[in-house]
Amino acid sequence: MRSLVWQACVVLGIALLLPLPRAGAQPKWTDREVDRSINQALEYIAKRQHPDGAWSIDSIGESTAATSLAVMAFLAAGHTPGEGPYGVQIEKGIRWVIDHQEPNGMLIHKTSHGPMYSHGISTLMLAEVVGMLRLEDAARARRALERGIRLILEAQAIPKNERHQGGWRYQPSSRDSDLSVTGWQLLALRAAKDIGCDVPAEAIDLAVEYVKQCATPEQRGFAYQPGGGSTATRAGTGILCLEICGVHGSKEAVGAAEILLREPLKYGDSYFYYGVYYCSIGMFKLGGNYWEQTRNQVFSILLERQEGDGSFPAQDASERRQGGVYSTSLAVLALSIEYRYLPIYQR
C-alpha cells in the first residue's frame, strides 16, 4: 500500500514540475479539415475563371495579379498545368498572363494600386511554374520571366536617395521605395534566381539592406517605409523578405516574430489576407514555436470564416474591393504551406 502511495506522489510531483499547456496551443481543427477547406476554396476559384483564362479583381475586372494569385493557389495545393481536374484552367491562366506582357516587360492588365504590385506577383508566379510546363509553354514562360526580371532590376537601379535605395515603389520609374512593393519584387527575384535566371547577388543584397532599414527601433517590427511604425502585416513582410534571401534568424526578423507572437494578426486588420500570406510563410521559414503558434492562430481564423461556397470573405474595406478570388487565393496559399509544393515554401 505504501508503495502505491509513494508511486502516486512521485507521479504527482513530476506532473507539478512539467510546464502547463499553453492556452490555445492545441488546434481546433484537424489536417483533414484543412484539406477539405483548401479543396472547397479551389472549387470556388475555379468557378470564377473567365472563358479567356483570366480571373478578376472585383473593382477593376480582369487582372494579371488576380490571375497569378489564383494560379499559385492551385500550384500550392499540388495541382499542375495540363494535368488533373484543374490542369487546363491553370494553363489558360498562365497563357493569359504571358499574353498581357507589355513591350517593356511589364506584366500588367489593369491595376488599382500601382503596376509594380501586379508585376511582382505575376513574375513570381512565372518563376514558380516555369519548371512544371510543357516545352512550348515553358519556353514562352521563360522568355516572359526573363523580361519581367529585367524590368524589376531596372526599376531598382533608378537613382534614389540613401533612404530608399535598394527597394521598389508603385512605378518602374519611382524614385522612392516601400516595403510592400519591395516584398513582391524580392520574392520574384529570389524565385527566379533559384531556377537559374540571371539575378545579380548585388541586387538581392541591396534589397535586403532596404528591408533592414525598414526595421523599427529595437527590432519591434517593420515599417512601410524607414522611420514609420509596424503592423502585423508589415512585420510578416519583413520577416519573409529576409528569410527568403537566406538571412536566417536575423535580429530584425526574430524581433518582429516575437512581437507577432504577442500581438498576432487579427481578422478585420487592414489588409488581413495580405498579412495571412506574409506572416504565415515568414513564420514557417523561422520554424519552431513561431510557426506552431502562427499556424494555430491563423488557421483557426480562416477555417471559422470560410463561407459555404468555399470563399474567404474580407471584412476590411481595403480588401473587400479586391473580391473573393483575391482573398481566397491568399488564404489557400497560407493553408497549403505544409504541403511544400511551391519552391518558395522550402526551408
Alpha-carbon span 73 to 4, nearest angstrom? 57
| Residue 60 CB coordination number (10 Å) | 17
pTM: 0.91
Closest CA to 90 of 63, 111, 69, 61: 69
Q: Give CA–CA dist 161/144, Å, rounded.
A: 30
List the end-to-end C-alpha distance of the chain, in Å, as a whole number. Answer: 54
The residue behind cell 473580391 is 323
Closest CA to 161 of 252, 237, 225: 225
In single-letter form, the type of residue at position 303 comes to L
CATH, domain 28-345, list 3.20.20.70, 3.40.50.2000, 2.60.40.10, 1.50.10.20: 1.50.10.20
Average confidence (pLDDT) per 10 residues, the chain, 347 residues: 41 38 63 97 98 95 97 98 98 98 92 87 98 95 98 98 97 97 98 97 98 95 97 98 96 97 95 98 98 97 98 92 96 98 91
Which one-letter DSSP state was computed for residue 266?
Answer: -
